[in-house]
Structure 1
Amino acid sequence: MKVHHLNSGTMRPFGGRLVTGRGSFFHRGELVCHTLVLETDSASLVLVDTGLGLDDVRTPKATLPLLFRVASRPVLDERETTARQLAALGLATSDVRHVALTHLDVDHAGGVRDFPGARVHVLREELDDRANPRYSPAQWRDADLVPHDPTGETWAGFEGVRELLPDVLLVPLVGHTRGHTGVAVRTGDGWLLHAGDAYFHHGQLATPPHIPVGLAGFERRMQTIAELRLANLARLREVADRVTVVNAHDAAHLRRFAPAHAS
């Protein structure tokens, strides 16, 4: 399994150091939309999240809520969309057969429309909550959405894990949203877990854990079930020494795997 790490949407919120923990308080922060492209043995492609899509960039007022645009300050660069980056890698959007979404927030599901031939996989709890006003149904209304229920299987101490495809697992990490999930991928170097928004900053996996105060406040405001989010964060901290864990918005994570995609 070949894994590509992409930034499918840069965001520049106000707050600088309060958001990233470095630089000036008066500059804009840096957040990314860390997505994965998996090249499988069958020559098909699997995406983990999609970031912002072509329509989001071209007509943001139609698909991106005002609060998101004001708070996150997305850059809206078409070159950052997953569709355009696949072309730059010499890969065809028509070869995307599956999209695994960690959840339906607009900065994760925006590119779904760019892959009309793909099956889009989400946890059933997430799909059942699709009327939540934080989501933008226009992004995925016509998609082939496939709901999944947690199973009795465990992986790395996490429960309810479901095999989506060979070497690709859905790992429920509920808390940020009601149906939030991580996606685990077996690579040549071991397991990689994309934890979505289960945590926002790499310092949360450190000892002692830490996170910039502004980002911590945003994380709390966006959580749906605090006790489950915190429990899953504690479990992620425990497994981080044997599983490579990344999240969706930390530029430091992306820089580790794809330096060209993070400034």
Structure 2
Amino acid sequence: MRKHIAILITLLLSISFSYSQIPVEKYREEIKKLKTEKEINEYWNDLYKLDQEVLVKSSNLRTADSISISNMIKTAIIFEIHGTKGYNSNGNSGLLPILNLSHNYIGQSQIAYWPIIEQCLEIGGAIKSFGGKYPAYQLDCVSLTFYNYSLFNQKEKYSILINKLSELETLNIVDELLKSFQYQNELRKLSEVAVLNSWHRQSFKDQPDEGEFSIVKMSDDNLYLKKYGRIQKFELLKANNKYKEYKIENEPFGWKYIYGEDGSLSLIDEKDNELIKYTLTK
């Protein structure tokens, strides 16, 4: 067991530090070799340990993204090849698919991975009560990643947002996860040209958080929302002489930002309700 987890950690860390391609086919062959329920269950446990002992302690974003997406990909492949054989929905293997989502901070990856969350819900177990009654925790993960907005105690929003996620089509989970990894590598090649404005972070309507986020112009001449060291591409929806409306690339809920010529910024939901009006840092 110890030897097995050591091999896994060494492999994934080598990937993360080289920032090369994730070896999907190598993972697939590795998982195909698992034959018994015990072997599969131990593999699940190894991935869980990797999440808890390595991923959550990593302070390097590239390393964390590599391990996170690799764990997502391996999870998808296990279900693809072995189904629920060796899977304990109330054990570490039942927790790991949820943790894969919550410990990933790339919206494109979370969207690609969402069918796994739906599959786990059908199986049942820990997912139904982890972090509160489903889908509170899982929706909050997605909302915080895309918009840094918490859905805590907003049950009235859950059904419509779950439907929006369910309507998104993922043709091949592994391929889409791999694309999200590659896209992050491309984004990291960009350099920051200018900071347009910065605001105090805020995940609740009337409760500011520590730190700030910004709208930045990058070397590809596009605007991005920058927070927690990551950038998300802005797509222009509408413009006039008073404000511009933007959405985050690949965002799932139909929410948008209104960016005023005076530096004001608001997050707006799919019904044009203002969720948060941010405060400029200067």
Q: TM-score range by the shorter chain?
A: under 0.3
TM-score by length of 1: 0.25
TM-score by length of 2: 0.23
Return the index of the structure with the highest Cα Rg: 2
- Whichever structure has more helix as a proportion of its residues is 2
